[in-house]
Amino acid sequence: MDKADAQRRIEKLRTKINDLNYKYFVLDESEVGESIRDALKKELIDLETQFPQFITPQSPTQRVGNVLSGKFAKIAHKSRKWSLQDAFSEEDIILWYERLTKFTTNTNFDFVTELKIDGLNVTLWYEKGKLEKAITRGNGREGEDITHTIRTIKSVPLELREPITIEVSGEVYMPKASFEKLEGFANPRNAAAGTVRQLDPKVAENRDLDLFFYEIGECDKRPQTQKEVMETLNSLGLRTDSHYKHHVDIKSVLEFCKQWTDKRSSLPYDIDGIVIKVNSMESQKNLGYTAKAPRFAIAYKFPAEQAVTKVLDIIIQVGRTGALTPVAVLEPTLVAGSTVSRATLHNEDEIIRKDVRIGDTVIIQKAGDIIPEVVTVMTDLRTGAEKPFKFPKECPVCGSEVIKPEGEAISRCSNTSCGAIMRESLAHFVSKHAFDIDGLGEKVVDQLIDAGLIHDAADIFGLHRADLLGLELFQEKRADNLLNAATKALDITLDKFLFSLGIRHIGEQTSQIIGRFLQNKEVPNELMKAPSKREKAQTSLFGDEEVDADMFPIPAIMYAMERTSLEELTSIEGLGDKVATSLYDWFGEDGNTEFLQKLFAKGVNVLKMREIEGKEGISGKTFVITGTLESIGRSQAKDMIIKNGGHVSGSVSKQTDYVIAGENPGSKYTKAQELNVQILSEGDFLNLFE
């Protein structure tokens, strides 16, 4: 075959294979069997191998490219990607509709509803019909370049059926059946998000992702309605979810939402709500945008998903403060997209109130919280074989007496040297928001304790290479990594240090408040020196004056606390009586004083906190987070708030300024509604930082 014949044959094969792929992956039509498609593709591969000068990026053989060498490039979106306002009830949808009718003189709206696919939002750019870029949503203005993995999705055309220039957006998802074959991810959405961000496109190719399109951004010619948008996408070869529907009134929209709330589990992929859009593009333009979201669209979120399962057992977990928490061991069941085998029962009083017994059939719920909970017991299904649970009077770990302080719901182990308390305290001490020491997982800690190498957290900084290499879990590299991580962690800011101590009632937020109070106390100069073990190294790197200015060593902390009364602590804004008493009592115990002195002797060097430059709209405000955040995690959201002078609380009260509601919000959302606290969607929250 000469070059001219090869080129013609290659072009015909490409056209035919792309057409067959479109019919099979987009239209669900099978013109020929899979073996025929494979044979045509093999012929194309053979010809392109023989005549590589005719290979183009749009060839169906070029879906999988090379492994990326580093991080994902940031790319600006051609048009802003907005987050939608959320609706969590029928009443919320009606209120949105009423706002529409008040905002314009037109009250004759029609709508399009689309299933809200539980996946990852992406935007694709086609230049003259050829796929150029695929970008994550990111912050709405720029995202990450994931072209190399999106190309591997078989339903995504590398070349459109018309040579137009267009920007389109959609949702990447993983079908339930594909997710069941995969290990290492909590749910299909996480699997999809993790897959598109793989550096090696071959990983994505083997994980069977798919994509539904629903939006057109910049393009040569814009459709006049959202219904036409969906039809245009289909005509270009871009797959849409077939369940979208046109409605002539809001009543029909509400019925559509109700129907899919009941039958969402019947789909082969996960959905987490319904997107409702005004159909007319002219009306969309007239309605416009608020500073945070488009007025013409809203996302109805399904109620928290519940499931029925059986209580196989009730066990007790002992935490770092000695709290005994009952946990229901469940028959594994799927709730809100992930398999649940345990649920918290909170405390003894809660078990009595709900009358939860071993063997009971229960309804469980995962309403945006990390730990599922038992909602209610189906007592009418009891057989008589169920066993009431007796709360232990002795700690299940060390056998010490269990105490329940008057006025408290939590029972606690009375032994401060309990093995469980020590293990949990160590895990807290090395966690990300404390000393942040990698390499100290549960098995490693257990082995270090069993070998007698650590008796408290301070001993971590006295570990030696030879000791570690004598243990089963350690090879040379792992031992060196742990020792290096421990050495690196010796310098720590005051707030993180206070948080690492695991003092009851004191979290990240209160640690910052206490830290700012302490570092402003007057302390003698002789106490403002680096630990003796490291003093020489410190003063050789910096001048004495500079080191003293940046440090607030452990002896300075102890001195400041010794001279602070309980009344003074109670008067600090943001602490309260309970926190102040807990802090005061902790520093008053001899054993804790010895522990602090030991940390100082091991070389722990505490640094002053930097002053925060508050951001308007965030500084001084109190936020509560509920539900799952899509583009950023809870931890990142919390860091953003704190770094900009805001506060994060775990509960909603009249003092709460904002509640950030993510996917599947819990009872905090309802509480915010009751107290008329302003509720922000994830997009609303991100817009505060612009």
The domain of 109 spans 74-301
- Other CB atoms closer than 10 Å to residue 308's CB: what's the count? 12
Q: Are residues 36 and 154 in the same domain?
A: no
Q: Are residues 79 and 221 in the same domain?
A: yes
Q: Convert 564-589 into a string of H (helix), E (strand) and C (coil).
A: CCHHHHHCCCCCCHHHHHHHHHHHHC
Q: Measured on CA atoms in the order 674, 675, 677, 682, is the torsion positive or negative?
A: negative
The pLDDT of residue 53 is above 90 = no
Is residue 13 in some structural domain?
yes
Within 434-589, residue ranges assigned H as helices are 442-450, 465-469, 476-488, 494-500, 508-519, 535-541, 544-550, 554-562, 566-570, 577-588
Is residue 612 in some structural domain?
no
Q: Are residues 87 and 236 in the same domain?
A: yes
Q: Are residues 567 and 538 in the same domain?
A: yes
Is residue 30 in some structural domain?
yes
Provide the percentage of residues in the chain whose pLDDT is more than 70: 91
Please tell me the distance from the alpha carbon of residue 10 to that of residue 56, in angstroms, as a whole number: 11
Give the pLDDT confidence score for residue 571 in this predicted structure. Answer: 84
Please tell me the distance from the alpha carbon of residue 589 to that of residue 157, in angstroms, as a whole number: 68
Q: Are residues 245 and 258 in the same domain?
A: yes
The pLDDT of residue 291 is above 90 = no
Q: What's the distance, CA 609 to chain centroid?
A: 27
Which residues partner with 628 through β-bridges? 663
Please tell me the distance from the alpha carbon of residue 434 to that of residue 313, in angstroms, as a whole number: 34
Active site residues: 116
Please tell me the distance from the alpha carbon of residue 477 to that of residue 337, in angstroms, as a whole number: 38
Provide the percentage of residues in the chain whose pLDDT is more than 90: 43
Please calculate the CA angle 605-608-609 and round it to the nearest 5 degrees. Answer: 130
The DSSP call for residue 171 is E
Please calculate the CA angle 135-636-368 and round it to the nearest 5 degrees. Answer: 90
What is the CATH classification number for the domain harbouring 597? 1.10.150.20
Please tell me the distance from the alpha carbon of residue 299 to that of residue 120, in angstroms, as a whole number: 15
Boundary residue ending a domain (403, 437, 472) = 403
Please tell me the distance from the alpha carbon of residue 624 to that of residue 461, in angstroms, as a whole number: 36
Q: Are residues 278 and 310 in the same domain?
A: no
Q: Are residues 128 and 221 in the same domain?
A: yes
Residue 83, burial from CB neighbour count under 10 angstroms (0-12, 13-18, 19+): buried
Give the pLDDT confidence score for residue 380 in this predicted structure. Answer: 83
What is the CATH classification number for the domain harbouring 669? 3.40.50.10190
Q: Are residues 311 and 244 in the same domain?
A: no
Is residue 613 in some structural domain?
no
Residue 270, burial from CB neighbour count under 10 angstroms (0-12, 13-18, 19+): buried
Instruction: Write out pLDDT tens, residues 20-34.
Output: 777 755 554 656 655
Boundary residue ending a domain (62, 92, 107) = 62
The pLDDT of residue 652 is above 60 = yes
Instruction: Write out pLDDT tens, residues 197-244.
Output: 888 888 888 888 999 999 999 998 889 999 999 999 999 999 999 999
Look at the chain and report how many structural domains it folds into. Answer: 6
The three-class DSSP label of residue 82 is coil
70 band by pLDDT with thresholds 50, 70 and 90: low
Please tell me the distance from the alpha carbon of residue 436 to that of residue 453, in angstroms, as a whole number: 20
Instruction: Write out pLDDT tens, residues 408-460.
Output: 889 999 998 888 888 888 989 999 889 999 888 888 888 898 888 998 999 99
Q: Are residues 526 and 572 in the same domain?
A: yes
CA atoms within 13 A on the CB side of 134: 23
What is the overall mean pLDDT for the chain?
86
Q: Are residues 112 and 225 in the same domain?
A: yes
Give the pLDDT confidence score for residue 66 in this predicted structure. Answer: 52
Boundary residue ending a domain (471, 489, 507) = 489
Q: Are residues 630 and 556 in the same domain?
A: no
Q: Are residues 168 and 267 in the same domain?
A: yes
pTM: 0.50
Give the pLDDT confidence score for residue 594 in this predicted structure. Answer: 94
The pLDDT of residue 67 is above 80 = no
- Other CB atoms closer than 10 Å to residue 18's CB: what's the count? 19
Give the pLDDT confidence score for residue 544 in this predicted structure. Answer: 43
